[in-house]
Chains A and B, each alone.
Chain A
Amino acid sequence: MKLALHLARRELAYSRRTFTALFLAITIGVAALTAITSFAERIELAMAARSGELLGGDLRVSSRRDLQPFIDALPANLVPDATVLEMPSMASTGDRLQLVEVKVVGGSYPLLGELLIKGQGSQKQPEAGSVWVDASLMTQLQLEVGDSIELGFSQLTVAGVIEHEPDRVAGAFSMGPRVILARADLTATRLLQPGSRFRTRLLYTGSASEIAAVERQLDRMLPEGAQLENAREGLETTREMTRQASRYLRLTAFAGLLLAMVAVFLSVSGLMEQRVTAVATLKALGASSRLVLQSYLLLLVLTALIAGGVGVAAGMSMQNLLPRLLGDLLPTDLPAPGNQAIWQGMVVAAAITLLSALPPLWRLVRTPPVRVLRSATPPPASLLGKLSQAVAGIITATLLLVWLAQDLTLGLQAMAALLLLWLLFALVGQASLFLLHRVTGGLGLVWRQAITGLIRHRTHTLFALAALATGVLALLAPSLVQQDLLRQWMVKVPSNSPNHFLIGIQPDQVTSVEERLAQLGASQFSAQPMIRARLVSIDGLAAKDLVLTERRARRMADRENNLSWRRSPEPHNPILEGQWWSPDTGRQEISVEQEWAELLGATLGSHLVFEVSGDQVEGVVTSIRRVDWERLTTNFFVIFSPGALDEAPTSYVTAFRTEPDQGDELRQALVSEFPNLTVIDMREMLAAMQSIISRLASAVQFMGALTLLAGCAVLLAVVVAERGRVSQEAALLRALGASKQQINTIFTLRFGLLGLVAALSGIVAAVASGGLLATRMLQIAYQPSVALLVATLIISALLVTLVGRTGSRRALTASPLTLFRENS
């Protein structure tokens, strides 16, 4: 063992560059994985530990309807322990106005966790006539504790600033700062009107058996559209969202990890190839195969453990950065990560090193001693041998991914996607090399040498190219989509179209609100009736039984719909099929939006039934319209003919335009006169959305940058593995009289071209996948920024040139004699 250790130590000192490449590859791969795993673990821990707290209780009934009638009809043992109602509204003071998210709490709220008020500690509910508000609202309205704010028709005292709200999942997704109000004060505000937008929650707490009993009974009598969730099962929606988000991040981490495996394989293969004669010599001198195996295993295991440790440490630091990048999209008090990510990182470091290194090491160990003689040239590996090695490698890597993902489908999908991607990159690379070879054939020695170097060891070049292109893809694709998302939200507010929404107008306020809007200089307004309803059936088939493959269609079928009615068609809603009803139609007719009809399978003549406040409203589809959603105005999926919805509780909504400098004044005037109205400034909403998109994108880009680093590690591994050949080439060229400058140009060109081809491949893939994501999933117009693409191309090519030249620095600086000797 002592001799094995000595040989290992000497090998390490001699092959510093190889082990540096190996070390970097393992470190980057493990860091990416650890960052994601431990970040996901923290979110999962937060969900598990605080699922009750986040749910608001042990059991929750939630609905978008007023559940008061339901509560009133409940037997005493099922009356909720607490109630929460959330709705957007306007808060104002003096001449300042702010859209806020009102939370009306009743019963023994909060049931679980603590509602902390600055300077007052844990509190239950604000006293009658007072509210607690977010610190951001204090700034926006320039408030101090003790000041008053107007909310609806009430004047309320700000009694404290909210420090921690136990059941608030993600603050940035709300419409505005929080205002907490006691249930007893709600009526006076008159915020709850027919057609108001709100969410109600009934919360229960108790022992497991009590909760189970309540759940059983509530389940049987739950009103239409209400959801029952318990803390044991957790917040399914939130968990699903987290899972979806972490899926993409995990995929980039897996890509980084697989690239690290490739880099390890290339580094170790290169080293083992260089050591065949040395091992044959050792064996000729009487060394056993075990000694060879021991010394290299020792070296690899130690490298893996040290690099794994550094990778884990780096990953843990990075996972601290992710919540900062995401800001308040996450719960503020994430629990500390557990040890899972640490041991997983170490196991993965050892696994990727040994799995990738064992095949070449095993071949080295089996080197026959006769190889030491000059006549014994190593036999080339057979195609079958290479193929079986590749298959074994893919199977092993897939098993590793499946284990890491803890999900067979995800592991297989990730592996399949990455393999397909690399195959494509390799094909593109192959074609590019062929073209470059043809094009540069007549350009002289320097160009020819640069290209020959890439072609001579084609496999290595293609490995590096695919790895670098993956990095470029992972970094660029989210940036492209982010830009388009941001642009999309910008273009939706053309300079001359409506820039505000006014919601919650009661039927008796319509005329006066419109008059007031006109007086205040607003334009392009037209109050439209809006009725909350749920789809019951289409042609007799219940909504829940509709066969809907698209998730979006299922959401449309299950959610609350906003219905409206009209006498005449809107000019910007062209009829595609059927006819608009005559003004005096005696039938209940319906006009539906084209996509809604397609998704839910409604056609002309379909019989639709909706439920509005317990009553059923029905009609027949007589026209299908196209709606231009880009126009920022009030649009509806489903419009009834006049009369059908006369009995339904109705509120009115309108978009309007005001000059930006008159917005504050107009909103102020409207809300002081009609306190129940909610004015939404689209510019503020868009700014909030842009901030969310930017933060999500920066987290994703961060992981993409790690993948690019992993790609660079593969390049470094390739450069180091080829160092011998490259030195020989440089020495030969120098010996034949090539100047240092010529050699420099050859290498700069070689890596520059490799970088350009890799970056181009990655850019094309990013543009294509970004396009798919934008048009298919996000359904936004897609216009990749040329400036961003050019910048990526230049930066990637420079980075690759830098890494490549650094890796082969010695070949560029050492004397020809030294290089010949080193490689003899």
Chain B
Amino acid sequence: MISAKKVSKSVSLQGAHFTILQPTDLQIAAGSSCAVVGPSGSGKSTLLALLAGLDSPSSGSVSLNEVDITALSEEARARFRREQVGFVFQNFQLMPTLTALENVALPLELQGQKTARKTAREWLTKIGLDHRQQHLPAQLSGGEQQRVAVARAFVTRPAILFADEPTGSLDGPNGDQVLELMFDLNNDQQTTILLVTHDARVADRCDRQLSLVDGQLE
């Protein structure tokens, strides 16, 4: 479950004060999926960053599965993400130095799991990329990279998945393939999904849609 209470984000730039996200209340039930839509610059990614604990809010609090992550230190938040959270990013954000297999195994290795490689291999087979295990991200197509990123997000069976424009860098067929994969896994694992997108087709796949305009939920 994701819960935000009066969470807001403001920044100061060259003496001027900007509010990127107005105080926002939000509740997303466990196992459900929610899409945050809105035009570019509306504050979608900021909201995602705050909810996922990647950034600290200027005010308010965020709880994930009853844990107030805003009260945690950065290192403690990192530990929490390691155990409970998965991510899919628009630009895939695979580690360029690691192979597809190593990228998928990375979250498990961060958790200290001894069978990381074996599990990662099973996941690559599951997403149809077992023949690409030893390839570096630069040697994979965009669609393949995002599938690896999805596998990396689900491999630890996270309670919550945050996705930032997961199909934003993909063409129609590849985007559809990745979405299918994400929502299939969501069904299997009962993961709570929060994704931000400006693609109505993606938002339509979610149980719930929230619209964000000028930093305010409508």
Residues of A within 8 A of B (CB): 3, 6-7, 10-11, 13-15, 277-278, 280-289, 291, 368-370, 372-376, 818, 821-822, 824
CB-based contact A375/B54 at 8 Å: no
Which residues on A sit within 8 Å (CB–CB) of B136? 14
A240 to B91, CA, bound (A): 65
CB-based contact B138/A818 at 8 Å: yes
Instruction: Contacts A370-B54, A374-B45 given; indicate if A3 touches B110 (C-beta within 8 A).
Output: yes
Which residues on B sit within 8 Å (CB–CB) of A10? 95, 97-98, 102
CB-based contact A821/B138 at 8 Å: yes
CB-based contact A284/B81 at 8 Å: yes
Which residues on B sit within 8 Å (CB–CB) of A289? 74-75
Q: Which of A286, A818, A822 contacts B81 (CB 8 A)?
A: A286
Q: How far is the CB of A492 from chain B (nearest CB, A)?
A: 66
CB-based contact A285/B87 at 8 Å: yes
A370 to B11, CA, bound (A): 14
- Give 17 pairs: A residue, B residue, CB < 8 Å, sorted on A: A6-B109, A10-B98, A15-B97, A278-B93, A278-B95, A280-B93, A281-B93, A282-B95, A285-B82, A286-B82, A286-B107, A368-B55, A369-B54, A370-B55, A372-B54, A374-B89, A374-B91
Name which residue of chain A comes closest to B106, CB basis. Answer: A285
CB-based contact B75/A288 at 8 Å: yes
Name which residue of chain B comes closest to A287, CB basis. Answer: B110
A372 to B95, CA, bound (A): 11
Interface majority SS (helix, strand, loop, mixed), chain B: helix
CB-based contact A286/B138 at 8 Å: no
Instruction: Contacts A3-B110, A286-B107, A374-B164 given; indicate if A369 touches B78 (C-beta within 8 A).
Output: yes
CB-based contact A288/B97 at 8 Å: no
Nearest 10 A-B pairs (CB), nearest first? A286-B82, A14-B97, A370-B55, A370-B54, A281-B93, A286-B81, A10-B97, A375-B45, A369-B54, A822-B138
Name which residue of chain A comes closest to B83, CB basis. Answer: A286
Contact with A along B94-109 (1 / 0, CB 8 A): 1111100010001101
Q: How far is the CB of A4 from chain B (nearest CB, A)?
A: 11
Q: How far is the CB of B82 from chain A (nearest CB, A)?
A: 3
A285 to B105, CA, bound (A): 11
Centre residue among B54, B81, B102 by max chain A CB count within 10 A: B54
A278 to B92, CA, bound (A): 11
Q: Which of B52, B78, B90, B109 contacts A288 (CB 8 A)?
A: B78
A281 to B83, CA, bound (A): 15
Which residues on B sit within 8 Å (CB–CB) of A13? 97
A822 to B52, CA, bound (A): 28
CB-based contact B96/A14 at 8 Å: yes
Number of residue pairs A-B, CB distance < 8 angstroms: 95
Which residues on A sit within 8 Å (CB–CB) of B181? none
Q: Is B46's CB within 8 Å of the partner chain A?
A: yes
CB-based contact B87/A284 at 8 Å: yes
Name which residue of chain A comes closest to B93, CB basis. Answer: A281
Q: How far is the CB of A366 from chain B (nearest CB, A)?
A: 10
CB-based contact B78/A286 at 8 Å: yes
A247 to B160, CA, bound (A): 66
Q: Is B5's CB within 8 Å of the partner chain A?
A: no
CB-based contact A278/B96 at 8 Å: yes
Residues of B within 8 A of A (CB): 45-46, 48-49, 52, 54-55, 74-75, 78-83, 85, 87, 89-91, 93-98, 102, 106-107, 109-111, 136, 138-139, 152, 164-165
Which residues on A sit within 8 Å (CB–CB) of B94? 281
CB-based contact B107/A285 at 8 Å: yes
Name which residue of chain A comes closest to B153, CB basis. Answer: A285
Which residues on A sit within 8 Å (CB–CB) of B97? 7, 10-11, 13-15, 278
A373 to B45, CA, bound (A): 7
Centre residue among A6, A13, A369, A376 by max chain B CB count within 10 A: A369
Which residues on A sit within 8 Å (CB–CB) of B78? 283, 286-288, 369
Which residues on A sit within 8 Å (CB–CB) of B110? 3, 285-287, 291
Which residues on A sit within 8 Å (CB–CB) of B54? 284, 368-370, 372-373
A283 to B77, CA, bound (A): 10
Name which residue of chain B comes closest to A10, CB basis. Answer: B97
Q: How far is the CB of B11 from chain A (nearest CB, A)?
A: 11
Q: How far is the CB of B20 from chain A (nearest CB, A)?
A: 9
CB-based contact A285/B81 at 8 Å: yes
Name which residue of chain B comes closest to A279, CB basis. Answer: B95
Which residues on A sit within 8 Å (CB–CB) of B90? 374
Which residues on A sit within 8 Å (CB–CB) of B139? 821
Which residues on B sit within 8 Å (CB–CB) of A285? 81-82, 87, 106-107, 110, 152
A278 to B95, CA, bound (A): 6
CB-based contact B89/A372 at 8 Å: yes
- Give me 4 other A-B pairs in contact (C-beta within 8 A), A286-B78, A286-B80 excluded: A285-B87, A370-B49, A374-B89, A821-B138
Which residues on A sit within 8 Å (CB–CB) of B164? 373-374
Which residues on A sit within 8 Å (CB–CB) of B52? 284
A251 to B49, CA, bound (A): 52
A821 to B169, CA, bound (A): 13
Which residues on A sit within 8 Å (CB–CB) of B107? 285-286
A368 to B97, CA, bound (A): 20
Which residues on B sit within 8 Å (CB–CB) of A278? 93, 95-97
Q: How far is the CB of B180 from chain A (nearest CB, A)?
A: 23
Name which residue of chain B comes closest to A11, CB basis. Answer: B97
Centre residue among B49, B91, B102 by max chain A CB count within 10 A: B49
Q: Which of A11, A15, A287, A373 contacts B48 (CB 8 A)?
A: A373
CB-based contact A3/B45 at 8 Å: no
Q: How far is the CB of A817 from chain B (nearest CB, A)?
A: 10
A167 to B54, CA, bound (A): 76
Which residues on B sit within 8 Å (CB–CB) of A372? 54, 87, 89, 93
Which residues on A sit within 8 Å (CB–CB) of B95? 10, 278, 281-282
CB-based contact B79/A286 at 8 Å: yes
A222 to B72, CA, bound (A): 84
Which residues on A sit within 8 Å (CB–CB) of B48? 373
Q: How far is the CB of B108 from chain A (nearest CB, A)?
A: 10
Centre residue among B80, B87, B102 by max chain A CB count within 10 A: B87
A75 to B212, CA, bound (A): 110
A822 to B83, CA, bound (A): 31
Which residues on B sit within 8 Å (CB–CB) of A283? 78
A280 to B81, CA, bound (A): 13
Which residues on B sit within 8 Å (CB–CB) of A368? 54-55, 74
Centre residue among B48, B75, B95, B138 by max chain A CB count within 10 A: B95
A10 to B136, CA, bound (A): 11
Name which residue of chain A comes closest to B55, CB basis. Answer: A370
Name which residue of chain A comes closest to B80, CB basis. Answer: A286
Centre residue among A277, A284, A369, A372 by max chain B CB count within 10 A: A284
Q: How far is the CB of A8 from chain B (nearest CB, A)?
A: 10
Centre residue among B80, B97, B165 by max chain A CB count within 10 A: B97
Which residues on B sit within 8 Å (CB–CB) of A11? 97
Which residues on A sit within 8 Å (CB–CB) of B74? 289, 368
A284 to B81, CA, bound (A): 7
A250 to B172, CA, bound (A): 65
Q: How far is the CB of A731 from chain B (nearest CB, A)?
A: 12
A319 to B164, CA, bound (A): 60
A172 to B83, CA, bound (A): 77
Q: How far is the CB of A369 from chain B (nearest CB, A)?
A: 5
Q: How far is the CB of B124 from chain A (nearest CB, A)?
A: 17
A380 to B83, CA, bound (A): 33
A777 to B96, CA, bound (A): 58
Centre residue among B78, B89, B109 by max chain A CB count within 10 A: B78
Which residues on B sit within 8 Å (CB–CB) of A6? 102, 109
Q: How far is the CB of B149 from chain A (nearest CB, A)?
A: 10
Name which residue of chain B comes closest to A286, CB basis. Answer: B82
CB-based contact A3/B109 at 8 Å: yes
Which residues on B sit within 8 Å (CB–CB) of A373? 45, 48-49, 54, 89, 164
Q: How far is the CB of B139 from chain A (nearest CB, A)?
A: 8
A280 to B87, CA, bound (A): 12
A15 to B136, CA, bound (A): 13
Centre residue among B46, B89, B96, B138 by max chain A CB count within 10 A: B96
A284 to B95, CA, bound (A): 12
